């Protein structure tokens, strides 16, 4: 359960986030939808305590990322925009390293990795070095290492970027599995199909502010449009999102 109230963040002159508030409930997938540069990544970075907010409040299961950074990092799983792997290590070693950093016991890590191999179909590359991985393989490793400690809250920054159809379907299935397991999932995206296929709630962000917030049906009603895409364009007030 995430609760964000009136979040602000500036980088010098640039006001990246100006008063964002939303909620992400357990057992739901919340989509942060917005054009490039709208402030999605900055908002997520404040959620996983990489950046301190200038003002505003964040609570993740009643923990504050600015004060309880270590405790929060234990309960969240993050697939950030930057998802570099260690090229000279195998997929298994990449995931194992993160398990160790979470202080997990060796046998627990191994068991988790076997689960991922099964669920994310990683069998044919789990023991290969990450240097030559395809985009899809890289994302799978990034997800597995982020989820190795079985977190309650999951944050994903444009997870389906650069994935082919098969990988995207696998990813969606995995996210829906997390949802039915009662996890709170937040994902940022600018892909409309993803929003309609996955999200229970949609938070539309434009120029660092909340443009709209609600279920898909609510957004359609609010904007009197037939598709989410039209609703999105109407709600953010420009068509810049479509150029991305």
Residue 177 near another protein by CB under 8 A: no
Q: Which is nearer to another protein, 73 or 190 (CB)?
A: 73
Given a contact cutoff of 8 angstroms between Cβ atoms, the answer to whether 28 and 53 are in contact is no
Query: Could you tell me the two tokens for 120?
Result: 């994310």
Q: Which is nearer to another protein, 72 or 231 (CB)?
A: 72
Residue 100 near another protein by CB under 8 A: yes
Residue 143 near another protein by CB under 8 A: no
Residue 97 near another protein by CB under 8 A: yes
Residue 105 near another protein by CB under 8 A: no
Q: Which of 73, 112, 179, 201 binds another protein (CB under 8 A)?
A: 73
Between CA 43 and CA 41 the distance in angstroms is 5
> Closest approach of Cβ 77 to another protein, in Å?
9
Between CA 163 and CA 201 the distance in angstroms is 23
User: Which strands, in side-by-side order, build the sheet including 209-214?
Assistant: 76-79, 153-157, 184-189, 28-33, 201-206, 209-214
Query: Could you tell me the two tokens for 8?
Result: 């602000």
Between CA 143 and CA 154 the distance in angstroms is 10
Residue 106 near another protein by CB under 8 A: no
Q: Which residues make up the interface to another protein (CB under 8 A)?
A: 11, 48, 50-52, 70-71, 73-74, 76, 78, 80-89, 97-98, 100-103, 142, 145-146
């Amino acid at each position: 359960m995430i609760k964000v109230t009136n979040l602000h963040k500036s980088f010098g002159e640039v006001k990246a986030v100006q008063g964002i508030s939303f909620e992400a409930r357990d057992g739901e997938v919340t989509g942060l939808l917005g054009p490039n540069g709208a402030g999605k990544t900055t908002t997520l970075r404040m959620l996983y305590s990489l950046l301190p907010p200038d003002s505003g409040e964040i609570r993740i299961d009643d923990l504050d990322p600015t004060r309880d950074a270590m405790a929060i990092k234990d309960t969240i799983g993050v697939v950030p925009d930057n998802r570099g792997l260690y090229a000279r290590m195998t997929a298994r070693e990449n995931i194992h390293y993160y398990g160790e950093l979470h202080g997990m016991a060796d046998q627990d890590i191994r068991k988790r990795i076997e689960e991922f191999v099964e669920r994310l179909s990683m069998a044919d590359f789990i023991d290969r070095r990450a240097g030559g991985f395809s985009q899809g393989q890289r994302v799978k490793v990034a997800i597995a290492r982020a989820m190795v400690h079985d977190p309650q809250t999951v944050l994903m920054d444009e997870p389906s970027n650069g994935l082919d159809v098969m990988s995207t379907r696998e990813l969606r299935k995995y996210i829906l599995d997390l949802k039915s397991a009662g996890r709170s999932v937040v994902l940022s995206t600018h892909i409309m199909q993803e929003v309609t296929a996955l999200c229970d709630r949609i938070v539309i962000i434009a120029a660092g502010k909340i443009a709209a917030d609600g279920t898909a049906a609510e957004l359609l009603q609010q904007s009197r449009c037939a598709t989410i895409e039209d609703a999105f364009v109407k709600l953010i007030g420009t068509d810049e999102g479509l150029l991305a």
